[in-house]
Structure 1
């Protein structure tokens, strides 16, 4: 996507809503937002979103994410190579992403990780693991947390992707110190079982919760989320994907994050305002938002 399609502008929220929310994962650079990106961000601000994080998928989308962040006070960026976009990964493009990572509005390295759903070949899976290790090492060098993608083959609750990812993260975490050791990153759109969640929490990772928590058939997911400490939960839309009820089947957008907050409030027997406050504070601790 060309950067000149990003509709760069400065956005000003109207009268502040009663709740302050954060969407810690939304792909606002995606082409589905080309017709009305400005309005999407404005709706998010008007709904109460004070921070939005746009992760990169490769060097071009990372650049677009940074450009969006430069022009919008509520938008921040993460930069990196998604495991299904590694055809884009070369020494030259990795250097471009490394350069972007030093931008003051880049708060994380991501979206990086392991995907065994789309990638079946063992050789390509091995490449995913090696590129992930290189990006984790770079995150350590620049002292920024990571946004981790993990998807199992056949969308299983657990499997080789979980095992491989946790082994890599555990080894990486053992070499960290200071703030990054305390807050190394987030497992984006967490879809694992309780054991995987507990192992990730033991490594000090946050877990990102997305729209499927609102789906009628998601009882097992809600049961797992009910056992995750609130101080380790982030809320995400993954826009334009994974729209929550009542917008399922539509293009997702950051303003819909409030439906995820409402469902987590129901699960944990809290008010939506409490969940908004807690998850916004969690995101501020993890990403520092330019501090």
Structure 2
């Protein structure tokens, strides 16, 4: 069984074809997917989407790109973690690629999510882009305890710093790109017990679907590339990453109800 540890099935281009996407997941042995929140206004719709489906789970959080919104408080986030489907806080983090300074609001939002993660004992889903030094610094200052660096594209040194904080490293379709040689070297080094795979769909479709709409069933191609890089079989990567997913997102109790 494969698990897509990060996707956005509530985005319109996927939500409107949900039945077909779930069928493709089943046919490709993708037995579980985590549908990740990007803002609180759309979060009720995300929850409505995942509720009927035992193979879908949710997070709650606000993406760092979302500006001029009502800022979430720790209490806002905690109040939404009571639902059994909510297994993580995020996605959160820092993104300096699109936004100019001052970005104090991003950094404070990140701290709020870390505090909510610690208070709820739920893993943190971290997005970082062009901001790795500040991301690690704030994680250290706030004593972040558990979570995943999602869609990882940083150096081995950044990966090591996150691993030292008990975080997992998740690889998306980017690892299949010919231009991603540095990232592929990181994928060879991450300890197997800290490795996750994801699609980040509808974005970043892996080879051979690069440039097309992504979906959770394509996580198989991420596993195949990592297997190639590490001299393993895709099934071994599937087994390891699935075990890691359930170890990290351990609020999930009904594993036997999923496609095993």
Q: Where on the TM-score scale, by shorter chain, does this alignment land: which range?
A: over 0.9
Partner of 2:20: 39
Report Cα offsets for 1:166-215 as digits up to 9, x if no partner: 01111222xx6xxxx4xx00000011111111111111110110001111
Which one of the candidate residues 123, 140, 148 is aligned to 2:126?
A: 148
The 5 Å alignment of 1:84-163 reads 84-90=65-71, 96-120=76-100, 122-123=101-102, 125-152=103-130, 161-163=131-133
Which one of the candidate residues 159, 172, 175 is aligned to 2:142?
A: 172
Report Cα offsets for 1:137-190 as digits up to 9, x if no partner: 1111111110000011xxxxxxxx1111101111222xx6xxxx4xx0000001
Q: Which sections of structure 1, spanning at least 5 residues, go unmatched?
A: 1-19, 153-160
Asked which structure has the greater RCO (Cα within 8 Å, sep 6+), the reply is: 2
Q: CA deviation at 1:288?
A: 1.4
Give the TM-score of the pair, scaled to structure 2: 0.93
- Judged with a 3 Å threshold, the aligned counterparts in structure 2 of structure 1 residues 236 and 162 are, in CA distance, closer, same or farther, namely same
Would the aligned equivalents of 2:91 and 2:125 in 1 still touch at CA under 8 Å? yes
Structure showing the higher helix proportion among its residues: 1
d(CA) in 2 for partners of 1:41, 1:200 = 32
Partner of 1:24: 5
Would the aligned equivalents of 1:63 and 1:100 in 2 still touch at CA under 8 Å? no
Q: CA deviation at 1:35?
A: 2.9
Give the TM-score of the pair, scaled to structure 1: 0.83
d(CA) in 2 for partners of 1:35, 1:77 = 18
Count of aligned residue pairs for this structure pair: 253
Q: CA deviation at 1:76?
A: 0.2
Would the aligned equivalents of 2:169 and 2:194 in 1 still touch at CA under 8 Å? yes
d(CA) in 1 for partners of 2:238, 2:22 = 18
Would the aligned equivalents of 1:193 and 1:224 in 2 still touch at CA under 8 Å? yes
Matched position secondary structure for 1:288: coil
Greater shift after overlay, 195-204 or 56-65? 56-65
Q: Does 1:212 align with 2:182?
A: no
Which one of the candidate residues 279, 282, 288 is aligned to 2:241?
A: 279
Matched position secondary structure for 2:8: coil
Partner of 2:206: 244
Matched position secondary structure for 1:258: helix
Would the aligned equivalents of 1:76 and 1:289 in 2 still touch at CA under 8 Å? no
Matched position secondary structure for 1:83: coil
Would the aligned equivalents of 2:71 and 2:109 in 1 still touch at CA under 8 Å? no
- Judged with a 3 Å threshold, the aligned counterparts in structure 2 of structure 1 residues 230 and 283 are, in CA distance, closer, same or farther, namely same
Q: Does 1:50 align with 2:31?
A: yes
Aligned residues: CA RMSD: 1.5
Matched position secondary structure for 1:112: strand
Partner of 1:158: none
- After the TM superposition, which parts of structure 1 deviate over 3 Å for at least 4 consecutive aligned residues? 93-98
Matched position secondary structure for 1:166: helix
Which one of the candidate residues 246, 266, 269 is aligned to 2:228?
A: 266
